């Protein structure tokens, strides 16, 4: 490791600077201190059992937030506010899943003594075959099952997966996705009802859903807790078992839905036996961690460049921890390293740089609580970098054409010796009036097999890409905020 550090420091010494003042004010020395080992150790600590998966509003997240805040204080950052300090309280309900069991009851083609159909029992394995949504309520029992495609009910557009089926008192099998249609009105409806699959079945009387998100279940977080409602995720292989007697399979059903572009819904012969033991905390509070390096120019310091990452993950449930090393201890670690790097500058840039580590992103709440209004210290957003899942792979992809030309040149020059940027052409337009880049290394979560699973641990992490993302960020941001 010592030799690799020497090599990286030598590389950093050759990195180009897009602004002359970077060499004159000690920024050159600062960027050379960015260390892949230090960033890796940040991730290791954040993803350790000590912080229990950093679940929003959980004591494990609070401990992690206090740990990060202690570093901000040690490095000399200014706190977000006099009263709050570095920790900004944020109301976020929390549900903990303590125990979960599921068994399929599959017809065996025989009859019992009363002449009724008999069933064979198939116990399912937690996480690899089934998992409750992490906002599931307590519940137990045995129920019938209905298949209802995508779970879309939009009769006003001529599409209703729930038409002519009875889901009352049953579980509903649903696939992730949506019907294919060229109707712009329907597309707009779908964009506004992305999570309607969670509520529609419940409103029609279902006890819960069996939702296929991916090949195997993932940790699905949120704040949609409803007393008496127990939604689950199941793997594709579970659907294969459920529909086998219908002469079909998961892949065949999904293909048929895509091909026919109309509902294919029907009751199943199988049943499900389930049990969930959960605890809900409706008044729970979590914390954002916010600190900043104040700009040196009295006339420009109230303009700020913001560095975002969410620190929360899926927590600890049924005795197992979801560490969230890639998602998103990696992004948190990069922001921490950049905070340390900017804080140690002997001469600060003209504008301020704000470091924001959100909570509640995984439950769909966090960033809006902060971004709805600027902190009173600042009157203008000078730019935003957002880091989410930056710990695997070897590159990042941006639509560089959405950036102001002078900022785009800074990114290109900063990457000249790093070679981690791939230009992913898109719309080449941006609604923002400031530079914005979203950092996700390689393909982010789309091809990451450990996404929201207990296997997203420190051993998946590539420290080199995190350090290079931090270097690229510093070399781009410093000349921009010092202009």
The 10s digit of each residue's pLDDT in 314-328 is 999 999 999 999 999
> How many whole angstroms separate alpha carbon 336 and alpha carbon 356?
10
DSSP one-letter string for 168-182:
TTSEEEEESS-----
Question: What are 375's two structure tokens?
Answer: 């902190």
Evaluate if residue 18 carries a pLDDT over 60.
no
pLDDT of 361: 86
Tokens representing 436 are: 């914005």
Closest alpha carbon to 145 in 108, 179, 105: 105
Distance CA 221, CA 212 (A): 15
Mean pLDDT for the chain overall: 90
| Residue bearing the bigger pLDDT, 122 or 426 | 122
Predicted pLDDT at 370: 58
> CB–CB of 311/285 below 8 Å?
no
pTM over 0.75: yes
d(CA 370, CA 385): 15
pLDDT over 90 (residue 474)? yes
Residue 274: is its pLDDT beyond 50?
Answer: yes
Residue 191 has pLDDT above 80, yes or no: yes
Three-state secondary structure call for residue 140: strand
Q: Which residue has the higher pLDDT, 251 or 376?
A: 251
Q: Which domains does the chain have, with CATH numbers?
A: 2-92+284-481 (3.40.630.10), 95-279 (3.50.30.30)
SS3 category, 97? strand
> How far is 402 from 425, CA to CA, in rounded Å?
9
Residue 429 banded pLDDT, cuts 50, 70, 90: low
Question: What is the pLDDT averaged over residues 399-414?
Answer: 93
Question: Which residues does 113 contact at the CB level (< 8 Å), separation at least 6?
Answer: none
| Cβ proximity of 210 and 234 under 8 Å | yes
Pick the closest to residue 219 from 483, 475, 450, 457 (CA basis). 450
**Tens-place pLDDT, residues 345-403:** 999 999 999 999 999 888 877 565 555 566 778 889 999 999 999 999 999 999 898 89
């Amino acid at each position: 490791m010592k030799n690799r550090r020497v090599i990286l420091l030598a590389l950093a010494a050759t990195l180009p600077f897009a602004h002359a003042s970077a060499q004159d004010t000690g920024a050159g020395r600062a960027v050379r201190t960015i260390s892949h080992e230090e960033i890796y150790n940040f991730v290791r600590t954040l993803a350790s059992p000590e912080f229990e998966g950093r679940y929003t509003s959980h004591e494990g997240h609070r401990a992690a937030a206090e740990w990060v805040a202690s570093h901000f204080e040690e490095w000399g950052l200014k706190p977000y506010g006099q009263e709050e300090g570095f920790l900004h309280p944020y109301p976020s309900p929390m549900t903990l899943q303590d125990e979960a069991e599921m068994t399929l009851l599959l017809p065996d083609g025989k009859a019992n003594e009363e002449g009724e159909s008999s069933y064979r029992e198939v116990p399912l394995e937690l996480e690899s075959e089934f998992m409750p949504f992490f906002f599931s309520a307590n519940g137990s029992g045995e129920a019938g099952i209905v298949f209802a495609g995508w779970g879309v009910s939009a009769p006003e557009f001529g599409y209703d997966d729930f038409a002519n089926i009875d889901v009352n008192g049953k579980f509903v099998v649903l696939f992730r996705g949506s019907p294919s249609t060229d109707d712009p009105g329907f597309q707009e409806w779908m964009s506004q009802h992305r999570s309607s699959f969670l509520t529609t079945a419940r409103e029609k009387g279902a006890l819960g859903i069996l939702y296929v998100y991916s090949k195997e279940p993932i940790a699905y977080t949120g704040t949609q807790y409803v007393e008496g409602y127990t939604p689950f995720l199941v793997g594709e292989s579970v659907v294969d078992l459920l529909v086998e007697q219908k002469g079909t399979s998961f892949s065949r059903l999904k293909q048929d839905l895509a091909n026919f572009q109309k509902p294919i819904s029907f009751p199943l012969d199988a049943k499900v036996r389930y049990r969930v033991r959960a605890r809900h905390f409706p008044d729970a509070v979590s914390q954002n961690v916010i600190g900043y390096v104040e700009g040196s120019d009295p006339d420009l310091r109230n303009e700020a460049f913001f560095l975002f990452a969410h620190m929360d993950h899926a927590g600890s449930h049924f005795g197992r921890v979801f560490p969230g090393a890639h998602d998103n201890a990696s992004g948190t670690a990069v922001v921490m390293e950049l905070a340390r790097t900017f804080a140690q500058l002997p001469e600060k840039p003209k504008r301020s740089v704000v470091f924001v580590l959100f909570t509640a992103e995984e439950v769909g709440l966090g960033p809006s609580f902060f971004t709805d209004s600027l902190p009173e210290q600042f009157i203008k957003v000078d730019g935003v970098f957002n880091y989410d899942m930056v710990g695997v792979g070897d590159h990042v992809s941006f639509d560089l054409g959405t950036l102001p030309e002078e900022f785009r040149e800074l990114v290109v020059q900063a990457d000249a010796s790093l070679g981690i940027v791939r230009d992913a052409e898109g719309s080449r337009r941006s609604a923002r009036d400031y530079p914005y880049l979203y950092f996700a290394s390689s393909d982010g979560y789309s091809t990451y097999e450990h996404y929201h699973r207990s296997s997203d641990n420190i051993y998946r992490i590539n420290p080199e890409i995190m350090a290079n993302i931090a270097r690229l960020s510093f070399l781009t941001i410093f000349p921009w905020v010092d202009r």
